[in-house]
Every structure is written in C-alpha cells, then in structure tokens.
Amino acid sequence: MIHSLKVILGLIVLPVSISVTGCSSTKPEEAQAAKAPTASNPPVGAPSSSTDSSSLEAAQRGQSTATPASSPLKDVYFDFDSYDLSPDARVTLKTNGDWLKANPAAQVQIEGHCDERGTTEYNLALGSKRAQSVKDYLVTLGAAADRLSTISYGEELPVCTEHNEACWQKNRRARFVIQSARPTS
C-alpha cells in the first residue's frame, strides 16, 4: 500500500516538476539563424551599427560576425597556429591606435578568433594570446591599457564556414568592439 502511494505520488510530482522547470526556449529556426553566414552567402544589409556589439551578440541575433566595412577599427589577421603580429597587422594596428588616441573616451574589447583546426581548448587559448598580443602592441603605441579588454572566442564564432584555407584565413583574426559607456556608481 505504501509502495503504491509512493508510485502514485511520483507520477504526480514528475509531470508537475517538468512543467515548472520547462524546456529550452530556443526554437530550431532560431538556432539555424544563429549560424554565421558564409563568405559566398553574405548577409543582406550591414550589421546593426559600427562595431558596438560583440561577435557573440551578433551571432545570437542571427547577424554576421564580420566587422562592418564602416567600422573605424579594422580587424587584424594571423598566420596559422600563430599569435605573432605580421607587418600588415602592425600597419592596421597603427591606424587603430591613432583612432584610439583621437577618441580617448572609447572603451574597446579585442576579440581573439581562430579557424576550426585544433581542439576547442587549444583554440580558446590561442585566441586569448592573439587578443593579448594586439592589446600589448596597442599599449606600446600609447593606448591606455585600462581602455582595452580582451576575450577569446576560439573557433566558435567564424565569419566563414567553408573548409578551405581562404576561409580559415578570414577566421584567424582579432576583432575590435567599441563598447558603450558604462554608468559609474
């Protein structure tokens, strides 16, 4: 009798607890929309605005994770399995550094990205090193370190999803996000 009561109680409690905790609110259409567009299928229109949203925020909205052409801060690119700054990257960073000097109130987050080759853990670490090497170089150019933050997305937010060198090169990058001013309290 007690065993039967426990079974009946369990059958009542289980559906109630499932309905209270609920299920994932992500619909299949939303998950599909969050995939980054490929270089051969670019998004229609420009992303929301300059670079005021992170790659993660753009992906969550179903937008491209690429930096808009109108952005004052340009991406820098890296060789395979490297966080060393190329001469081209240094030229781009000099221009970005000049913009930072001209906009002393701007706070910027530097995102480190990788291509899909390598483990998730390795690419997160490599992305972190890429973002840090960019920050360090900008500091040597006179940017205040406290205005720059870094984050790594590893291979998780590609701008191109094809499986070839031309695409992988686009994903090995440091991207700049101009952050909104945060209230002080």
* pTM confidence score: 0.71
Domain count, the chain: 1
- Tell me the residue type at 46: A
Residue 120 three-state SS: helix
| CA–CA separation, 168 and 35 (whole Å) | 16
Residue 38: its pLDDT value, please? 33
Report yes or no on 142 lying in a domain.
Answer: yes
Provide, rounded to the nearest whole percent, the portion of the chain with pLDDT above 70. 70
Residue 180: its pLDDT value, please? 73
| CA–CA separation, 60 and 71 (whole Å) | 20
- With tokens 């690119």, the residue in question is 77
User: Token digits for 153?
Assistant: 């997305």
Residue 83: its pLDDT value, please? 98
Residue 52: its pLDDT value, please? 72
Residue 183: its pLDDT value, please? 53
Report yes or no on 135 lying in a domain.
Answer: yes
Provide, rounded to the nearest whole percent, the portion of the chain with pLDDT above 90. 65
Residue 185: its pLDDT value, please? 52
Element housing 177 (H / E): strand 173-179
Q: How confident is the model at residue 115 (pLDDT cuts 50, 70, 90)?
A: very high
Reported as a single tens digit per residue, the pLDDT across 22-51 is: 443 433 333 333 333 333 333 333 333 345
Report yes or no on 45 lying in a domain.
Answer: no
User: Token digits for 95?
Assistant: 């221009």
Which domain range does residue 160 map to?
Answer: 50-179
Q: Give buried/exposed letters for 116-140 (b at 16+ CB in 10 A, else e).
A: bebeeeebbbbbbbbbbbbbebbee
Could you tell me the CATH number of the domain that includes residue 146? 3.30.1330.60
